[in-house]
Amino acid sequence: MKNNKPQETTGPGAPASGRRAFLARGAAVSAAAVASAKLIPAAQASEANLPPNVPAWMKTQGGGFLNPPYGLPSPFEKNVVRKLPATVAAFPTATRTPLQNLFGTITPNGLFFERHHAGVPVINPDEHRLMVHGLVERPLLLTMNDLMRYPSFTRIYFLECSGNSAAEWNKPTGKTAQDVHGLLSCSEWTGVPLSTILDEVGVKPEGKWLLAEGADAAAMTRSIPLEIAMKDALLVYAQNGERLRPEQGYPLRLLLPGIEGNMSIKWLRRLKIGNQPFYTREETSKYTDLMPDGKAREFTFEMDVKSVITTPSGGQTLREKGLYEISGIAWSGRGKIRSVDVSVDGGRNWREAVLQGAIQSKAVTRFCLPWRWNGEPAILQSRAIDETGAVQPTRQQLIAARGTKSFYHYNGIQSWKVATSGEITNVHA
């Protein structure tokens, strides 16, 4: 089969995965490489590919079996990893998901983005407690065992840091989809609906807001309106079929579907019900946006409709003209994705992409569209529309509405420029 996928040129060793580079190195080093080079040259089926002409790895017993006990990806996938942004702050605060290397909609647990305000605490689940108090009839202190006896709920949701793509307000900064959009991931989450626990403690009529507090050294706290807490919020203990990873809040995190990531408090230890917002540091000095009129937007809960083409995308190179599949992801904090349009000429003409799989509310949806590259410069863009009718804006439209002093909630259309050389870069079209 012909491999038309664009190849990454950034990571060390990446070109070796390209068919041509692979062939070019055909005479080289390992026995395995020689064996497979013999298999590939003909585009047509060939006798040379029939027994006894089989690759080296068919001639000896394989390894595996509990080595290691918790399985790992193929060593040939060693460059598919979380990464710090291209411009690293003195003190790293986040790692990003390699969106350009992933398929479908679920982020593997080891590649889920991380954002920590004071690192990752190591918590023994037997010692962890969740306290629920404040304006309630029956304050509670729950162990993990107590909590896990309540009826569970499992659902797929994305999580996005509201600082995702923030550098794009200014100039095209990140090289890859990982750099620009990698503070976004999507999992199947399992936990107890927060509404179940709030019913259990009995919120008093004057109770209108919740304070959620994390058990990290940042004691990260945010205020959450009771309507959001009662709607679809989850007390999550499992992710993609296994217990939460430490980085994602083990043993317990809050998950507020569709809401800016920082409110999904990890290592959750306390919920206090009050009658007004608590105005913590993370909702006054941070997580507010300065508007053109000099006022600050606060409590910007929902993540707006957004999308990005992940293949072909920045940092990759198209090695020849011909057929490619344009593929990417779309999501909205307000519900389901209704449609995604794709442009290959910088937004002059649009075609509707195909949406794959079951389209779920507040989850990532994959879109794709075949495209024949004629070797001329092209600008690839995607524009998502959600079920409320909200249309992902261009960068210019976003700036016209929000000014240039914002940091959070950038959801502008992403442009990837394909040069005649086939190289793909991040541009502001």
Ligand X SMILES: Nc1nc2c(c(=O)[nH]1)N[C@H]1C(S)=C(S)[C@@H](COP(=O)(O)O)O[C@H]1N2
Is the Cβ of residue 216 or residue 232 nearer to ligand X in the bound state? Answer: 216
Is the Cβ of residue 18 or residue 163 nearer to ligand X in the bound state? Answer: 163
Pick the piece of the chain touching Mo ion (CB under 5 A) from 54-62, 118-126, 133-141, 262-270.
Answer: 262-270
Is the Cβ of residue 107 or residue 361 nearer to ligand X in the bound state? Answer: 107
Q: With beta carbons less than 8 A apart as the criterion, state whether 33 and 25 touch.
A: yes
Is the Cβ of residue 123 or residue 429 nearer to ligand X in the bound state? Answer: 123
Least distance between ligand X and beta carbon 146 (Å)? 21
Q: For residue 98, state whether it binds Mo ion (rule: CB under 5 A).
A: no
Between CA 342 and CA 353 the distance in angstroms is 6
Which residue in 100, 248, 411, 415 binds ligand X (CB under 6 A)?
248
292, two tokens: 């053109």
Between CA 199 and CA 227 the distance in angstroms is 13
Which residues are within 8 A (CB) of 248 and not within 5 positions of it... i.e. 6 or more apart?
109, 112, 114, 239, 266
Residues in 107-136 that interact with ligand X by CB under 6 A? 112-117
Residues in 313-332 that interact with ligand X by CB under 6 A? none
Pick the piece of the chain touching Mo ion (CB under 5 A) from 66-74, 97-105, 158-166, 193-201.
Answer: 158-166
Which residue in 214, 314, 315, 333 binds ligand X (CB under 6 A)?
214
Pick the piece of the chain touching Mo ion (CB under 5 A) from 44-52, 115-123, 213-221, 415-423.
Answer: 115-123
Is the Cβ of residue 115 or residue 428 nearer to ligand X in the bound state? Answer: 115
Is the Cβ of residue 50 or residue 90 nearer to ligand X in the bound state? Answer: 90
Is the Cβ of residue 38 or residue 281 nearer to ligand X in the bound state? Answer: 281
335: left (phi over 0), alpha (psi -120 to 50) or beta: left
Which residue in 262, 313, 361, 365 binds Mo ion (CB under 5 A)?
262
SS3 category, 386: strand
Per partner kind, with CB cut-offs from 5 to 8 A, the member of Mo ion, ligand X, none near residue 386 is: none
Pick the piece of the chain touching Mo ion (CB under 5 A) from 48-56, 109-117, 269-277, 405-413.
Answer: 109-117
287, two tokens: 């997580």
Q: For residue 159, state whether it binds ligand X (rule: CB under 6 A).
A: yes
Per partner kind, with CB cut-offs from 5 to 8 A, the member of ligand X, Mo ion, none near residue 232 is: none
Least distance between ligand X and beta carbon 96 (Å)? 10
Distances (CA, A) of 217 to 92, 116, 158: 16, 10, 26
Which residue in 197, 265, 303, 353 binds ligand X (CB under 6 A)?
265
Is the Cβ of residue 210 or residue 340 nearer to ligand X in the bound state? Answer: 210
SS3 category, 390: coil
Between CA 56 and CA 69 the distance in angstroms is 26
SS3 category, 398: helix
Which residue in 101, 187, 264, 316 binds ligand X (CB under 6 A)?
264
Q: For residue 218, state whether it binds ligand X (rule: CB under 6 A).
A: yes
Which residue in 134, 261, 277, 328 binds Mo ion (CB under 5 A)?
261
Between CA 169 and CA 78 the distance in angstroms is 32
Dihedral angle sign, alpha carbons of residues 423, 349, 398, 363: negative
**What are residue 370's DSSP bridge partners?**
325
Between CA 103 and CA 325 the distance in angstroms is 13
Alpha helices in 138-264 (DSSP H): 144-148, 177-181, 194-201, 226-231
Between CA 350 and CA 343 the distance in angstroms is 5
Least distance between Mo ion and beta carbon 94 (Å)? 7
Per partner kind, with CB cut-offs from 5 to 8 A, the member of ligand X, Mo ion, none near residue 189 is: none
Least distance between ligand X and beta carbon 280 (Å)? 12
Q: For residue 161, state whether it binds Mo ion (rule: CB under 5 A).
A: yes
Q: For residue 95, state whether it binds ligand X (rule: CB under 6 A).
A: no
Is the Cβ of residue 84 or residue 354 nearer to ligand X in the bound state? Answer: 84
Burial class (CB in 10 A: 0-12, 13-18, 19+), 423: middle
Q: For residue 237, state whether it binds ligand X (rule: CB under 6 A).
A: no
CA Rg, the chain, in Å? Answer: 24
SS3 per residue for 80-103? CCCECCCCCCCCCCEEECCHHHCC
Is the Cβ of residue 250 or residue 367 nearer to ligand X in the bound state? Answer: 250
DSSP assignment of 23-54: HHTTTSS-HHHHHHHHHSS-SS--GGGSTTS-
In the complex, the residues that contact ligand X under the rule CB under 6 A are 112-117, 159, 161, 214, 216, 218, 220, 247-248, 261-262, 264-267
In the complex, the residues that contact Mo ion under the rule CB under 5 A are 115, 161, 261-262
